[in-house]
A and B are shown apart, each in its own frame.
Chain A
Amino acid sequence: MNKEIMVVDDDPSIRSTVDIILKTSGYSICAVESGQGCLDRLREGFRGLILMDVMMPKMDGWDTIAAIEDEGLYKGNVICMLTAVHDPCPKLEKLTEYVMDYVRKPFTSEELLEVVTEYIEYVQ
């Protein structure tokens, strides 16, 4: 089965970077620039691994996860966070159970691929 990956990041260079690395390794990937975009894709039936930026305008990564859970769209997906922040945010406490792992920026292609190959297995 061809499992998809979605990258959610407001920064176009991060989206492109992830896109290039993962396409080069043969994954199919879609890139969206906001939490809203991520929800739209999930409503359309996306199932796969979601790489989610934490700090985004309007709806940050945690708000997005809360909304995914609210709409019952979490099932079958796996979420990993892309983050530049070390400290846990207070919002995170209730939501950590939805997050499999963290990829810290700046990441190398090896670091990204390691997380992707490990967690894509969990996508149902």
Chain B
Amino acid sequence: MKVLIVDDNTKIMAIAEVHLKKEGLEVLCVEDGKSALESARQEKPDLILLDVDMPDMSGFEVCQILKDDAELVMIPVVFLTAADDNKSRVRGLDLGAVDYVTKPFDSFELRARVRAALRTKQLQDQLATMNLELEERVDQRTEEIKQLLEQKDAFVNQLSHDLKTPLTPLVALLPMVAERTEDVESKKMLDLIMNNVDYMRNLTERTLQLAQLNSPEVSLRVEKVDLASEIRNTIESLSSVFKENGIEIVNNTTTPLDIEADRMLIKELIHNLVSNTIKYTNGDGVVTFESFLKDDNVEISIKDTGIGMTIEQQKRIFEEFYKADDSRTDRSSTGLGLTICKRIVENHGGSIRAESQGSGHGTSVHFTLPIRQSEK
């Protein structure tokens, strides 16, 4: 290991040099602060033994410059101070020195203090190396996980595509068979089968959609979209369903609400959220739509007077395949609708949350979308 001694007193420097060479150390000697800094930059010593009292540039000044330099800050400094100079010792330590040796020094003490400082330096270096290795490993592992996730999405994508072909004869021909069947029992069985085929079809579509929303390769097709008119259109297209279910609609959104967004995805988002209010609001309910402009964002809230959610349900409602009613046998829900909503909103740089005062107290969903999409 390499030690740099800085002292304008060449006699003391020579003595120190002899002692440190006995320790098996490589020793460099300079007589002033300017040379010390040059030498520190070029030689990168493992320790600097620095005299406080020097003409031109004091040891403190040298130390200050060392500690302000990102490349040199890690080199430990041990000050050489006068025996009766407490103030200097304190100031030196405060400036970032690791230790001090008083002059005239005891050779064993000098060697021991240098050894101790070098041990600490060594440990520090080891720690820095380990840290670097660890960071590299984390990066590597993160990359691996990213690749695995991409593979997963590609697999899900492929699987959903591949399922569509064998689903076609089922979707297309089963209703034809059912129509020709006279037998009541067979009709019942066919209904059950068709119900499940429909569910499979939904699940396939939704899974594929989610995989595509997750894929970094599929980007938004951004255009100007009027959120208010999209909401109005969705409400109109579902008006008969609202009526059948005895649900009253209150639409307080202001118009227009132009944002930059992917129209197809926004339609999907609103349709999913509105369908949910129908599903979870039993007769004589009210669904209220509100809009708010906040800085560069539009917030939409959709509030229903339906069955509401428990705290547990509120926490998990956006998870993949989570069904709020906990019934895995519910064929009307894939458990992916709200996950898709969340992904759509997040892909636009927005956020979504669902709130409820508890079971039986209705639910409100709020989503925020930025008015402008940043160029990617």
Q: Which residues of A come within 8 Å of B, CB atoms?
A: 11, 13-14, 16-17, 20-21, 24, 84-87, 105-109, 112
* B-chain residues with CB within 8 Å of residue A14 when the two chains form the complex: 165, 168-169
Question: Known: A87-B218, A106-B201, A108-B171. Is A21-B176 also a contact (CB below 8 A)?
Answer: yes
Q: Which single member of B165, B166, B175, B212 contacts A108 (CB below 8 Å)?
A: B175
Q: Is B279 an interface residue (CB 8 A)?
A: no
**How many Å from the CB of B193 to the closest CB on chain A?**
14
Query: Contact between B172 and A21 (Cβ–Cβ < 8 Å)?
Result: yes
**Most B-side CB within 10 Å, residue of A85, A106, A107, A109:** A106
Q: Is B173 an interface residue (CB 8 A)?
A: yes
Query: Contact between B172 and A108 (Cβ–Cβ < 8 Å)?
Result: yes
Closest to B200 in A: A106
Docked Cα-Cα span, A53 to B171, in Å, equals 17
Query: Contact between B218 and A17 (Cβ–Cβ < 8 Å)?
Result: no
* B-chain residues with CB within 8 Å of residue A21 when the two chains form the complex: 172-173, 176
Closest to A16 in B: B169
Query: Contact between B168 and A106 (Cβ–Cβ < 8 Å)?
Result: yes
Query: Contact between A13 and B165 (Cβ–Cβ < 8 Å)?
Result: yes
Question: Known: A106-B171, A106-B201. Is A84-B176 also a contact (CB below 8 A)?
Answer: no
Docked Cα-Cα span, A73 to B282, in Å, equals 58
* A-chain residues with CB within 8 Å of residue B201 when the two chains form the complex: 106
Closest to A82 in B: B168
* B-chain residues with CB within 8 Å of residue A87 when the two chains form the complex: 212, 218
Query: Contact between B169 and A105 (Cβ–Cβ < 8 Å)?
Result: no
Query: Contact between A109 and B176 (Cβ–Cβ < 8 Å)?
Result: yes
**How many Å from the CB of A12 to the closest CB on chain B?**
10
Residue-wise, chain B 201-222 has the 8 Å CB interface mask toward A (1 for contact) of: 1000000100010000010000
Closest to B208 in A: A86
**How many Å from the CB of B163 to the closest CB on chain A?**
9
**How many Å from the CB of A9 to the closest CB on chain B?**
9
Query: Contact between B175 and A17 (Cβ–Cβ < 8 Å)?
Result: no
Closest to A11 in B: B165
Sampled A-B contacts (20; CB under 8 Å): A13-B169, A14-B165, A17-B172, A21-B176, A84-B161, A84-B162, A84-B164, A85-B161, A86-B212, A87-B218, A105-B164, A105-B168, A106-B165, A106-B170, A107-B171, A109-B172, A109-B173, A109-B175, A109-B176, A112-B172
* B-chain residues with CB within 8 Å of residue A17 when the two chains form the complex: 168-169, 172-173
* A-chain residues with CB within 8 Å of residue B161 when the two chains form the complex: 84-85
Q: What's the dominant secondary structure at chain B's contact region?
A: helix
**How many Å from the CB of A107 to the closest CB on chain B?**
6
**How many Å from the CB of B98 to the closest CB on chain A?**
62
**How many Å from the CB of B54 to the closest CB on chain A?**
72
Docked Cα-Cα span, A50 to B29, in Å, equals 91
Q: Is B238 an interface residue (CB 8 A)?
A: no
Docked Cα-Cα span, A112 to B168, in Å, equals 11
* A-chain residues with CB within 8 Å of residue B175 when the two chains form the complex: 108-109
Query: Contact between B172 and A107 (Cβ–Cβ < 8 Å)?
Result: yes
Docked Cα-Cα span, A108 to B165, in Å, equals 12
Q: Is B167 an interface residue (CB 8 A)?
A: yes
* B-chain residues with CB within 8 Å of residue A84 when the two chains form the complex: 161-162, 164-165
> Quick one: which of B124-176 are within 8 Å of A by CB?
161-162, 164-173, 175-176
Query: Contact between A105 and B165 (Cβ–Cβ < 8 Å)?
Result: yes
* B-chain residues with CB within 8 Å of residue A86 when the two chains form the complex: 208, 212
Docked Cα-Cα span, A20 to B177, in Å, equals 11
Docked Cα-Cα span, A105 to B176, in Å, equals 17
* A-chain residues with CB within 8 Å of residue B168 when the two chains form the complex: 13-14, 17, 105-107
**How many Å from the CB of A23 to the closest CB on chain B?**
11
* A-chain residues with CB within 8 Å of residue B218 when the two chains form the complex: 87
> Quick one: which of B1-38 are within 8 Å of A by CB?
none
**Most A-side CB within 10 Å, residue of B161, B165, B168, B173:** B168
**How many Å from the CB of B213 to the closest CB on chain A?**
12
* A-chain residues with CB within 8 Å of residue B173 when the two chains form the complex: 17, 20-21, 109
Query: Contact between A24 and B176 (Cβ–Cβ < 8 Å)?
Result: yes
Docked Cα-Cα span, A108 to B198, in Å, equals 11
Given contacts A20-B176, A107-B172, A109-B176, 20 further A-B contacts (CB under 8 A): A11-B165, A13-B165, A13-B166, A13-B169, A14-B165, A17-B168, A20-B173, A21-B173, A24-B176, A84-B162, A84-B164, A86-B212, A87-B218, A105-B164, A105-B165, A106-B170, A106-B171, A108-B172, A109-B175, A112-B172
Q: Which single member of A20, A85, A106 contacts B167 (CB below 8 Å)?
A: A106
Closest to B160 in A: A84
